[in-house]
Amino acid sequence: MLTLLSNSSWVFVDGLSLYYTADDIMDLFARFGTVRTVRLKLDAMGMSLRCAYIEMATHADAERAILLANAASRALQAIHTVPPY
């Protein structure tokens, strides 16, 4: 789920893979515009809470990210990553 926060350039994304890093999220959202900041939410043990705040360069970039990422979400949900055993 992607949400534009108010009238800003911040996007909230929920339902991420536990294995995504801030760099992975930055790479993913860079396809939609310039990413300024990624704040991956972590618990006290340093494990992902599966959500992040992404600051895009502009409000227009944030809107584009939401539009395009939501359109691609069905394909992204089919991708699962697991660590090697």
The tens digit of pLDDT for each residue in 4-15 reads 777 788 999 988
- Find the CATH number of the domain harbouring 26: 3.30.70.330
pLDDT digits (tens, 9 = 90+) for 1-49: 677 777 788 999 988 999 999 999 999 999 989 999 999 999 999 999 9
Q: Is 32 inside a domain boundary?
A: yes
Domain that holds residue 51: 2-77
Residue 85 falls inside a structural domain: no
Round to the nearest angstrom and report the end-to-end CA distance of the chain. Answer: 30
Distance (Å, whole) CA 27 – CA 12: 16
| Amino acid symbol at 29 | F
- 29 domain-assigned: yes
